[in-house]
Structure 1
Amino acid sequence: MHYNVLRRSIKTKNKSVYRWYYSYIDPESGIKKQKVIPECKSRAEAYAFISTLPDLDRKTVLIKDIAKDMFIPGSSHVERLSEHGRKLTFETLQRHRGLLDKIVSAFGEMELKDLTPAIVDNHLRSLENRSGGWKNSFLETLSYIYKEAPFCGCEGLIKPNFMRFSRNTKKADIFTTEELNRFFDKELWENSRDHLIFLCIASFGLRLGEARALQLRQFIFDKNAVVIDGFCKRNGERTNYNKKGSNEDKKWRVAVAPDTTMQLVYNYSFLNQIQADEFVFVKEGKLPVRNEYLEDVFERQLTKAGIEKNGRKLVPHSLRFTYVTRMRRDLPAEIVQKIVGHTSIEMTEYYTRAAIPEMVAAIQNAIPAVNGLFE
């Protein structure tokens, strides 16, 4: 018996009354504790009450404890998956680890038995900036926690049925001129690196992965041009081809850049002594900043700038959508298509290194348009 029952006499209003208590040794502190049993009138009721209390010998295992070593190369978790025929690539392991970080941030201090479908669904529905596909990936990673739980001492848990999300999500919305100016107000940013990488996204019409992959050699400063010749995957691996491309068909493109942004990139690279083949925007050592980090920065900056979504989908990709919309004010659709790299038959001939000089020359007349992006 881990709980003891006792009856004590206490004085109240000048008369003695009996009350029932239970005592136990706290397993964490080793201190003996004693608490009153509410509305108890007999020993039978006292024992009935303590029968409802948790087992003091049961070890509390939190969700963060289960997730701690999951999807780490060489861990017992990954070895078990491999033995069951699940040979996950390093990129897949990194993707799951990123999602585990989000799960632990939201539910890490809870026990898995207390995590209900309603709690998970309410959390995911509150993430307006996440797509249905991302939320389903979140649920997929969460299901692995239930499979790992028995190996961490959590027996008898059955994974609930979580409601999945439709992948037909709304396209990103665009910023107004006022919102762009508020978003890029330098006074609101914690550091110049984060400010500049998002300014590059907005100034060159980049995807987030393309911005993370930027190396100094891609900038042609005297021509206000940027060669987009690769992107960074979520695991930090840089490709030498663009989206929809491959090693055989790289689908490179060239974007024009505003004078002010090019000057800021030049100053930043000079100040930080960035070499031609080095990443411009790094977080740890020489590695590019992480995708999830930038998504979090974007959300914080919206709040700091006082930009309310009001039902709109404002995500980092909104800056690319805004770029396309604004460039279309002054340029034909075909030119904008080439700059932003949208798939078309006409674009194919441009995507070889030999064509880069011609591509740079072909878009020089777009410089006035790009200089008016934030006006």
Structure 2
Amino acid sequence: MEWEHHLRFSLRRSPHSIRAYIATAHRLVTFLAQHRGEIIDKAALHTLNLAEMRAYLAERRQSGLANNSASREISAIRAFLTFAGVDPLPALKGPRLKKGVPRPLSPQDAVSLAKEVSEDAAQPWIEARDLALLLLLYGSGLRIGEALSLKGDQFPFGAILRVTGKRSKTRLVPLLEKVRAALEHYVQLCPFPLAAETPFFFGAKGGPLSADVIRRNVRKARYQLGFDNKVTPHALRHSFASHLLGRGADLRSLQELLGHASLSSTQIYTAVDAARLLDVYRAAHPRAEREP
């Protein structure tokens, strides 16, 4: 398929991005074929108008597409239409994301981000490293500095991980089985031996892994996925906290898991969860648009 070849060799997208972009192209063509009642070829794509784009996105939103995912969908469509030679592109704008309150990634988007970063790695062991690291940030709510401060002699890990946070304060965090499996896979592929004096996460040349490397990789991945520019490694920690709160965790327990010195630092997540609930309310309640 020409589109897949273009993504793989011209744009050098990761395997995860290629799958997502191809799926989006198939969805768009299928929608247009049903909408117009005709076969959609390259010439038909050149007649795509803004109303049809809005109708397609509305159908996707009705199926549960979230804001971040909608932005990614639009980004993939623009890339596909550009490849097809459509010029000018329909001027469809992405959904607005409110500023000020950190917006958590969905569990699916958090995993997609980790996979996107890892699949772009140059070597299999670095792919395993990046996936394990980002899953650890999301699965256990670590700061990136805390993850990178782990030492080789802490491995093998159990169900509980001891972490040293700000002001050298230690805490215990849960380690999910899938996260632990990813960490073990990284160790199996890593070419550098773990020891008491070595970091757990190695850089490409065997020294300590730099947080800037991961931040740069996440910036690239969020662009490829169409995520908001607030999606950073720290956003995975925000997502961990917000999802726990949404599932009934109390603030005091969340404070301990995050390593916050004061409860006030944790209370921002009540605003995050309230914002999520408000989004659900506005989308579902028949009179929501008329509420102040």
Q: Give the TM-score normalised by structure 2.
A: 0.48
Q: Which structure's CA Rg is the greater one? A: 1
Higher relative contact order (CA 8 A, sep 6+): 2
Per residue, is there more helix in 1 or in 2?
Answer: 2
